[in-house]
Chains A and B, each alone.
Chain A
């Protein structure tokens, strides 16, 4: 286990009643990164997060947070002391007021940041004496975020933090998150199926599909290395078996052969020239396209 990793899973597996939610998930989240965890609904994002927090026991593989085994109940308590968490439902205690919820949470975290508590109470305009049951979804999300940010955590784990929010509220929450992380030394691991928000704030990403990671890396590296190579032929595109490494997908459609590469596009282009195409077009790929090509295309 490297000291520079806050999360490290290896061949992580979880089975629910015969259904495999995680199928050998291997993931590494470096300290200090904002790590976007992308996947479709039901891909295994929430299950992964629950395993990290000790809410779900894995059926195989290893999982470590801060170098501690998250599947050991006593170590899991220590992990949770160092983690801020916002779940996708933002389910808090409906019978408490905002003030009670904050006073309830505070004593569990020795490094609680009273200064941030006051700042975010003011910034998010949270009504301290209003019952949580009466809060709008946006205000509830802001409270959940306050409770996570003030823990003095070394790692923030956010499960779909902006789900159900309107665009303005989403932007406000993301800005608050980015500003907070810029001022504090911490890593953020957040799941989402909103590609735009991951693209906006993440510096590293992993794409999960059907319980396993299909793409992972620094976002800049992915943008740099992923290429779509389009070969147009005068006749029907040939069946091509590329041997170069880095080929993610090859698609034939009439006279067009499209190759998605994750590395070594130059070598692939060289190999493609041997097929004598009429034209070769190399284009960069957006995160949305990477996602669609690696996840949706598998259907």
Chain B
């Protein structure tokens, strides 16, 4: 029944996220024919530096459907929205419910705090997995509608990358939710951390593909580097460590 409770507590965040991400995926597919029409109008630029390379690359990527989906949707809209919803799903829990939200009732149940947090985290991670894979499934299914195809392996690998990186943000939000007694501070702190990482990434050179958002958009895989197993496993380890820290922190709390 704890699963049911966690679902009730997070369902609106999850369902709104799912609807928005699916809508975003559908819009990206629908916009592709227009992008193809406009591509010849894009001038060839010769701008130096990291940003110049990125702009040139962006234009080049759009010449293929796979590149367009990655550069225009997966690396931008989807990554931003996944960040937001990973943080929203990770916040909340016992501490924020301590004043009038049923925390005392929950704590009077014959359940350990580790199990309470475990079920909450597992529910959130399951929802996060759906948010990561379903929009890519939408791309997969709608692509024939614009005369294109999107590979199922691409969808699976990018879904896994999205999930693994978003899980880090989710776990971080879970951890901060065992420190602060409100929902907003954990959310704002994790969003601030994600923003700083995002700002610093363009200046990290080749290392940027190993950063949080580099893993999230699956750049290594997209550029032909194969499935980034090490990065995925490292992300899982970081998430697990933060969830463990959250569990330990919760166990020490007085309510």
Find out whether the CB atom of A95 lies under 8 angstroms from the CB atom of B108. Answer: no
Find out whether the CB atom of B254 lies under 8 angstroms from the CB atom of A56. Answer: yes
Find out whether the CB atom of B113 lies under 8 angstroms from the CB atom of A50. Answer: no
Find out whether the CB atom of A108 lies under 8 angstroms from the CB atom of B111. Answer: yes
Find out whether the CB atom of A85 lies under 8 angstroms from the CB atom of B110. Answer: no
Stretch of A86-94, A266-274, A280-288 that contacts chain B:
A86-94
Find out whether the CB atom of B108 lies under 8 angstroms from the CB atom of A87. Answer: yes
**In this assembly, does B203 line the interface, its C-beta being within 8 Å of a C-beta of chain A?**
no
**In this assembly, does B104 line the interface, its C-beta being within 8 Å of a C-beta of chain A?**
yes
Find out whether the CB atom of A50 lies under 8 angstroms from the CB atom of B109. Answer: no
Find out whether the CB atom of B254 lies under 8 angstroms from the CB atom of A92. Answer: no
**In this assembly, does B148 line the interface, its C-beta being within 8 Å of a C-beta of chain A?**
no
Complexed CA–CA distance, A107 and B1 (Å): 7
Find out whether the CB atom of A73 lies under 8 angstroms from the CB atom of B105. Answer: no
Find out whether the CB atom of A80 lies under 8 angstroms from the CB atom of B104. Answer: no
Q: Hey, which chain B residues are within 8 Å of A16, CB to CB? A: 254
**In this assembly, does A11 line the interface, its C-beta being within 8 Å of a C-beta of chain B?**
no
Find out whether the CB atom of A91 lies under 8 angstroms from the CB atom of B1. Answer: no
Query: With contacts A77-B111, A78-B110, A104-B4 known, is A93 near B255, CB below 8 A?
Result: no
A77-125 contacts to B (CB < 8 Å)? 77-78, 80-81, 83, 85, 87, 89, 91-96, 103-105, 107-109
Find out whether the CB atom of A93 lies under 8 angstroms from the CB atom of B108. Answer: no
B5, B102, B103, B107: the one within 8 Å of A94 (CB)? B102
Q: How far is the CB of A57 from chain B (nearest CB, A)?
A: 6
B8, B101, B255: the one within 8 Å of A50 (CB)? B255
Closest to A16 in B: B254
Smallest CB-CB A-B distances: 3 pairs: A81-B110, A85-B108, A80-B110
For the complex with contacts A50-B255, A55-B254, A83-B108, 10 further pairs of A-B residues with Cβ separation under 8 Å are: A50-B254, A55-B104, A77-B110, A91-B101, A91-B102, A91-B104, A93-B101, A93-B102, A103-B1, A104-B4
